[in-house]
């Protein structure tokens, strides 16, 4: 039997989370309505000439959720499952992520329905440039600043930056973040989400009197975020990485593995599966291992009311967006498992995106150690605000993070008022 409560679409989950926090904050109905709806939604249908000479029409979205505290900010994803409700939900979560981190951005998100795995580099470039041109009416350094997301990267951002620059007649590096260093990218951006996650887990461990040196860690999703997180926990905290998985399966070793060796193996074979000296473990089993720290860094909705009672980790750090359902949140809270929610735990990426934007606007660049130091300051500050709210209101960490974020946006509305 399926559980209809847990098959809510992502935007309904996002709105449920706002309702939960709003009730705790005693928000009035009018303010709640503002917070539960995007400010602006753009849907575009545009033709692209493919390599074989045929013309294909693609559908893309850009949802600008809220800009009470500053310009819109959020990634662009290329995926066959992109939908308007998914983009709405992601733009909503970006709003709260920026607010909880204390950076002066609102939330946005974009996406194009396509299968990038089946497209050539030329086709991807033509599609990206045309999509950028279609949404150019609402993006810009002072309006809305896109970034990479699923199946987009620094090259995608470079094409968008060039497209907007060509239309303007001069270089506009600040229109996107996550760019290559050669055109105004920031040092430290590639590992920023993982480094932020490490800082969040470290601060939670301090509160729980858990020593990270020798602590066991399982990572679901050995992509960019999961790989860098495993490496940083291993190299900088002295933790033991006992399990990692990717889309093809996973590996487990009681003695622990060196993430750099696993990465080298994956680059050679295409997967972590079969890494010497390890036992196989599935993406489902990795969530239920007896470990100190669990980091879901792959897909949304993997921790549910069905498997939450069997999770044995003391700390869960959400490297992915939305990996835990509201029902699972309640179970973890009752069981005393400390969950670092996505809007706090993976806020390092957008924070260093903000640093990149600041560097672009000032045309002055920082060293890697300066970026890491500033990121640590932002992450620790955000963690402390959330933890204080959790203790004061006796709620779980996700609700505390939402309450901190929503408070900040509501405060902005109080000062700005409702136009006209």
Which amino acids are annotated catalytic? Answer: 109
Going from the C-alpha of 204 to that of each of 70, 95, 168, the distances in angstroms are 29, 23, 46
H or E stretch at 77: strand 72-79
- Separation between Cα atoms, residue 282 and residue 73, nearest integer Å: 35
190 token code pair: 């590639």
Going from the C-alpha of 82 to that of each of 43, 49, 150, 173, 371, the distances in angstroms are 12, 21, 10, 27, 32
Place of tokens 């001069």: 170
Handedness of CA 66, 73, 175, 142 (dihedral sign): positive
88 token code pair: 């709405």
Q: What's the order of all strands across the beta sheet hosting 249-257? A: 279-281, 249-257, 240-246, 216-220, 293-296, 315-317, 338-340
For residue 246, what are the β-bridge partners?
A: 249
Which residues, 6+ apart, have CB-to-CB distance to 151 below 8 Å?
77, 78, 79, 116, 117
User: Of the candidates 343, 327, 346, which has an alpha carbon nearest to the alpha carbon of residue 335?
Assistant: 327
Q: Are strands 55-66 and 72-79 parallel, antiparallel or unpaired?
A: unpaired
Report which DSSP code applies to 140: B
Going from the C-alpha of 19 to that of each of 63, 184, 406, the distances in angstroms are 21, 40, 11
H or E stretch at 264: helix 259-269
| 412 torsion bin: left (phi>0), alpha (psi -120 to 50), beta (else) | alpha
């Amino acid at each position: 039997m399926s559980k209809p409560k847990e098959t809510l679409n992502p935007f309904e989950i996002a709105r449920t989370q706002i309702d939960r926090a709003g009730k705790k904050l005693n928000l009035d109905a009018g303010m709640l309505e503002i917070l539960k709806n995007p400010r602006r939604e753009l849907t575009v249908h545009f033709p692209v000439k493919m390599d074989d000479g045929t013309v294909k029409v693609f559908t893309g979205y850009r949802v600008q959720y809220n800009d009470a505290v500053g310009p819109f900010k959020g990634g662009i994803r290329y995926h066959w499952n992109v939908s308007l409700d998914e983009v709405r939900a992601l733009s909503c979560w970006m709003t709260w992520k920026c607010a909880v981190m204390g950076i002066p951005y609102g939330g946005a998100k974009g996406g194009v329905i396509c299968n990038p795995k089946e497209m050539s580099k030329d086709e991807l470039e033509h599609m990206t440039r045309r999509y950028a041109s279609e949404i150019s009416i609402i993006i810009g350094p002072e309006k809305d600043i896109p970034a990479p997301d699923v199946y987009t990267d620094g090259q995608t951002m470079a094409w968008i930056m060039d497209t907007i620059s060509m239309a303007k007649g001069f270089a506009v590096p600040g229109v996107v973040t996550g760019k290559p260093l050669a055109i105004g990218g920031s040092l430290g951006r590639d590992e920023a989400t993982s480094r932020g996650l490490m800082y969040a887990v470290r601060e939670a461990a301090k509160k729980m009197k858990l020593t990270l040196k020798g602590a066991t860690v399982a990572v679901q999703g050995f992509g960019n975020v999961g790989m860098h997180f495993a490496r940083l926990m291993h190299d900088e905290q002295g933790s033991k990485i006992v399990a990692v998985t990717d889309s093809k399966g996973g590996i487990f070793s009681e003695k622990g593995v060196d993430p750099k060796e696993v990465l080298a193996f994956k680059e050679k074979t295409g997967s972590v599966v079969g890494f010497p000296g390890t036992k196989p473990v599935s993406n489902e089993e990795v969530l239920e291992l007896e470990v100190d720290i669990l980091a879901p860094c792959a897909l949304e909705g993997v921790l549910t009311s069905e498997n939450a009672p069997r999770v044995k980790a003391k700390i869960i750090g959400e490297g992915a967006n939305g990996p835990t359902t509201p029902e699972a949140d309640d179970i973890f809270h009752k069981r005393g498992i400390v969950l670092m929610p996505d809007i706090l735990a993976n806020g390092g990426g957008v924070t260093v995106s903000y640093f990149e934007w600041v560097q672009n606007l000032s045309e002055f660049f920082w060293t890697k150690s300066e970026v890491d130091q500033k990121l640590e300051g932002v992450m620790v500050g955000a963690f402390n605000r959330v933890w204080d709210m959790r203790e004061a209101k006796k709620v779980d960490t996700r609700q505390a993070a939402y309450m901190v974020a929503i408070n900040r946006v509501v405060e902005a509305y109080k000062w700005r008022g409702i136009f006209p």
